[in-house]
Structure 1
Amino acid sequence: MEAASQGLEFCLAEEAHFEQVMSISGDVYGGIDYMPVRYRGWIREPDRRVVLAKKEGRVIALVSVNVVDDGHTAVVEGLRVAPAERGKGVAGLIQRHCLELTKAQFPELELRRCTRSRPLGPEVFVKFQLVCKQEILALCFEAAEILPKLEAAVEQMKASGAGWEEPVVLGADDVRRVFLSPGVVRDVLPGETIVQDWAPYKASRSNLETLLKRDLVWMADSKDEPSVLSLCQAPYSIPMGAGWQRLNIDIFGKQLPGARSQFLAQLRGAIGTLPGPVYCLLYMEPSLWQQMHSFCQRALGLSNDRDFGGQYVLETGI
């Protein structure tokens, strides 16, 4: 009734809606939005529902719900509301509709998770509990210019004898074993959660099978008793400008040498063939942020480009 009173109608997103969705997303995340490359894939995922809100026939909002954790958790992602419609309650209405639709099709849903940035007020924690928090280091650079600095930093750390920990690339079987190890889940993963580019997953076999289908590079400091793990997603185009690529590196663990080494290894592997500008988001344990930032300034000449205010994974019941 409330949606009808505002003249809203809801529908599932389709390929034909792409341009309208892009038109309401132009100011999102300051040019580093993932939606242009995710939308078409999202609407084809069998366990995801992407819902649009229309007003007078035009798309004014979007949200998606991805069902993970063996059908027990709804991850809310990609909320968009047209600038002229913000502050009118549209976000709450479309999320409620999408969750109700998803719950009807996946009756075992018990939890809702979402990921937010910036410091959160006390009103948020009336509804949600905090699963984990990661800090974000945002780095902008030209790939060709940063590669020699990367090589020099790695060589200097190796020569020092104390700063470099050789990362191990994990194959699929290694990933299954390492990420399901009780010690790793308890002591390395933040909130016992794998956070991959803002999407939170519990450490379960079904979730790992989903992630293993993606174009990710998995690393660890050891296959046997790892204290630092990392994931790196293949770079993708963003609306910031011609040639710009976004790169996401998620690091789990609290040990600086392993985190620093894996960051350099992941970055070197990801940008080796890129021709132009890169916007890299590095997610990490909060206690590492200042040291990692200082290292990037000193070794690579890079400073934090913007303050996201952290990455918060939140959870509540459905």
Structure 2
Amino acid sequence: MEGASHGLEFCLAKEADFEQVMSISEDIYGGIDYLPAKYHAWLQEPDRRVILAKKKGQVIALVSANVVDDGCTAVVEGLRVAPMERGKGIAGIIQQYCFDLIRAQFPEVKVRRYTRSGYLGPETLAKFRLICKQEILPLHCELEEIRPKLDAAISQLKACGTEWEDPILLRASDVQRVFLNPNVVGGVLPGKTIVLDWAPYRPLQSNLEILLKKNLIWLADGQEEPRVLSLGATPYRIPMGADCNRLSIDIFGKHFPSARNQFLAQLQRGIGTLQGSLYCLLYLDPCLWQQMYSFCQISFGLHQERDFEGQNVLETEM
């Protein structure tokens, strides 16, 4: 096997491997890495395989694949290689091992799906189908400073009368009906896909059952034919600094007033009683990015260049 020629051994990740996994991840994503908060939960997911590559007993690479879409798709997440081992082809080798394992254990899987940031060159587009693209707007702030600005922004919109409409909080039964509505699937969801943070799912009953277990905040601007929907994840600590929390908000749809209102409502619900600082990542349709950025400049004093080059959902056959 190709891994043997590199002195690699492969195994399923365990709880005891956590510290070694963190040691190869210190420079990942500039301190906003999700893996420290998700690693232990991933190990408990029955349809996910978290694979480690070890050299002389030490972890040097990780990748995971989660089987979704009624068992037909493997979503690849969490790929990382130790700094001293990069540029040696390790990423390709561990992914191939992972794909072989998935094929053996989940023979119905026909497609593998990825979410990637940044520019997609011709070589990438020749290998993968681009399902959808969302832009990313980061908001980094101190919570004690953002709360009064958030309250003021909502109050000002409410005072305008026509600018504010309370987003609707969807119950579990509402979620099933709304997200499986053909008009929503074809007209609101990007590429007919539900993207939670960086994980893409097709709008299927089985996937909604998975998502409904994740303690998400589901908002809409209507229960029958919504123009905008949003998902707010539970905030979690990140390595960026002491008491630094990450909050991810995914917005689907192109109607800016509804998207803005749901962003504010998700932010208000998400921060709750959190203390310290917040790194909020807002994912939204490319046509809304400039309007939302301008709104955040005015309301929150956001002054920064675009930190991310977009979120691309890609897929190809196994």
Normalised to the residue count of structure 1, the TM-score between the two structures is 0.98
How many angstroms apart in 1 are the aligned matches of 2:75 and 2:90? 19
1:297-312 → structure 2 map (5 Å cutoff): 297-304=297-304, 307-312=307-312
Work out the percentage of aligned pairs sharing the same amino acid.
66
Task: Please give the secondary structure, in 2, of the residue aligned with 1:123.
Answer: helix
Say yes or no: does 1:64 pair with 2:64. yes
CA contact (8 A) 1:10 1:52 kept: yes
How far residue 151 of structure 1 moved from its aligned partner, in angstroms, is 1.1
Counterpart-to-counterpart distance in 1, 2:306 and 2:102: 35
CA RMSD, Structure 1 to Structure 2 (Å): 0.9
Q: Is the 8 A contact 1:139 1:305 kept in 2?
A: no
Q: Which residue of 2 aligns with 1:289?
A: 289
CA deviation after TM superposition for structure 1 residue 304, in Å? 4.2
Aligned match of 2:105 = 105
How does 1:1-318 map onto structure 2 within 5 Å?
1-304=1-304, 307-318=307-318
Q: Distance in 2 between matches of 1:304 and 1:51?
A: 37
Q: Distance in 2 between matches of 1:171 and 1:210?
A: 15
User: Structure 2 vs 1, CA of residues 39 and 287 (structure 1 numbering), >3 Å: closer, same or farther?
Assistant: same
Give structure 1 regions of 4+ aligned residues with deviation exceeding 6 angstroms: none
CA–CA distance in 1 between the matches of 2:238 and 2:305? 16
Q: Deviations over 1:229-274 (max 9, x none)?
A: 0000011000011100000000000000000000000101111311
Give me the whole-angstrom Cα distance separating, in 1, the residues matched to 2:304 and 2:280: 10
Write out per-residue CA displacement over residues 143-166 of structure 1, whole angstroms, 9 at most, x where no aligned residue: 121111111111111111232222
1:289 Cα shift?
Answer: 0.2
1:121 offset after TM fit, Å?
1.1
Q: Deviations over 1:115-157 (max 9, x none)?
A: 0001111110111010000000001011121111111111111
Answer yes or no: is the 8 Å Cα contact 1:140–1:305 preserved in 2.
no
- Amino acid aligned to 2:55: K
Which SS does the other structure have where 2:40 is aligned? helix
SS in 2 for 1:163: coil
**Equivalent pair of 1:60/1:82 in contact (CA under 8 Å):** yes
What amino acid sits opposite 1:254 in the alignment?
K
Instruction: Tell me the distance in 2 between the aligned counterparts of 1:313 and 1:45.
Output: 22
* Secondary structure of the corresponding residue to residue 166 of structure 2: coil
Partner-residue secondary structure (3-state), 2:122: coil
**TM-score with structure 2 setting the length:** 0.98
CA distance in 2, matches of 1:228, 1:251: 7
Contact 1:64 1:77 in 2 (8 A): yes
Whole-Å separation in 2 of the counterparts to 1:140 and 1:239:
14
2:123 & 2:163 partners in 1: Cα distance? 43
**How many matched pairs?**
318
CA drift at 1:305: 6.3
- Distance in 2, matches of 1:294 and 1:272, equals 25
Note if contact 1:139-1:303 (Cα within 8 Å) is conserved in structure 2.
Answer: no
**Could you tell me how far 1:187 is from its partner in structure 2?**
0.2
Q: Distance in 1 between matches of 2:92 and 2:126?
A: 16
Distance 1:304 1:73, change over 3 A: farther
- Counterpart of 1:213 in structure 2: which amino acid? K
AA at the equivalent of 1:268: Q
For structure 2, the residue ranges without an aligned partner over 5 or more in a row are: none
SS at match of 2:242: coil
